[in-house]
Amino acid sequence: MENIKEQSVLSKREKRLKTVTICLALVALVLLGVLAYIWFDRNGMIDDLKVEKEELTTQLVGLRMDYNELSSNNDSLNVQLDREREKVDQLIERVQQTEATNRAKIRQYEQELGTLRSIMRHYITQIDSLNTLNTTLRQDAQAAREDARRSQREYSELRSTTDEYARKVEIGSVLKGRNFGLTAVMSNGKDSDRSSRTERLKCCFFLMENDIAPKGPRRVYIRVKGPDGVLMTGEGESVFSVAGESLIYSASREVDYQGSDLEVCIFFGAPGMFRKGVYSVDVYTVEAKLGSTDVALK
């Protein structure tokens, strides 16, 4: 009985060992198959990359030949063509020195090839344009001279129009005034029409809205004339220039003009300065006269 049991145990062990051996053999076969697939796939990929590298080299050589056929009468353009030929030569050398398995480099060189082709097409267009231009110039020299004369006439007309427009803009940018008024003011600040009570004259007006006029500080001047037509001034004579002419003014005031309507009042005079009669005021900026007004005192 004991021999039978031992034989049964040995039989089971042998079966398990046999099963394990078969499994290991199957795994080994699968691994061998995978390795073989990877090997053949890698070799196939390497072969494909070698073919790509050869095709890339062939295309670069063809591009170099195409560059050799380009020529121009323009020295500057010829220098640029020589520089591009040198770039092609350098790229061919780099491709030849690069392993076919370096896929990233091969892809980079293919992109550079595309760029060089685009540049060559640009030069072809330039050369064709230059050749066409030269032919046209030789055939139509007289027409070109006529075009030049016509262009000169058009330029002169345009210059005149531009100057006229600039002149109109300059005129339009000059400040203008409205609602000019001149009143006599007593010492208490109230208006009066009597010369004996008048302490000062007050000239008020509006600087009109002007979008194209320069913004910022502007000085406004008044010239006051008495009943005898003589210009009245304070202590000493103050001079300003308007449109190239120097004039004496009676009083002035600086205002901050920002393009909108701006009310301005300027005072002139002193107690005992005024007598019966009509007083007139002219208002100026350095660009032009703005307006006039007057007041009659009893």
Q: What is the pLDDT of residues 104-156, one digit of tens each?
A: 777 787 787 788 777 878 777 777 777 776 667 777 667 766 776 776 776 66
Q: Find the mean pLDDT for residues 168-175.
A: 61
How far lies 121's CA from each of 34, 129, 231, 249, in Å? 48, 12, 80, 73
Provide the strand spans (E) within 114-162. Answer: none
When pLDDT is cut at 50, 70 and 90, the band that residue 282 belongs to is: very high
> Left (φ > 0), alpha (ψ -120 to 50) or beta: where does 124 sit?
alpha
Please give the model's pTM, rounded to 2 decimal places: 0.45
Q: Find the mean pLDDT for residues 275-293.
A: 92
pLDDT at 12: 66
Task: Give the side-chain half-sphere CA count within 13 A for 264.
Answer: 29
Chain Cα centroid distance, residue 229: 58
Helix (H) or strand (E) holding 146: helix 141-172
Q: Find the mean pLDDT for residues 167-187.
A: 77
Helix (H) or strand (E) holding 98: none
pLDDT at 256: 93
When pLDDT is cut at 50, 70 and 90, the band that residue 217 belongs to is: very high
Task: Report the alpha-carbon angle 219-223-224, nearest 5.
Answer: 135
When pLDDT is cut at 50, 70 and 90, the band that residue 44 belongs to is: very low
When pLDDT is cut at 50, 70 and 90, the band that residue 206 belongs to is: very high
3-class state of residue 105 by DSSP: helix
For a pLDDT cut of 90, what percent of the chain falls above it? Answer: 22
Residues contacting 207, CB < 8 A, separation 6+: 175, 176, 177, 218, 220, 255, 257, 261, 262, 264, 290
Higher pLDDT, 163 or 217: 217
Q: Please give the CATH number for the structural domain made up of 177-297.
A: 2.60.40.10
Q: Find the mean pLDDT for residues 22-32.
A: 71
All structural domains of the chain with their residue ranges? 2-136, 143-172, 177-297
Q: What is the pLDDT of residues 230-275, one digit of tens each?
A: 998 877 678 998 878 899 999 999 999 998 999 999 999 888 889 9
pLDDT at 166: 46
pLDDT at 165: 47
**Summary mean pLDDT of the chain:** 78
Q: What is the pLDDT of residues 218-240, one digit of tens each?
A: 999 999 999 999 998 877 678 99
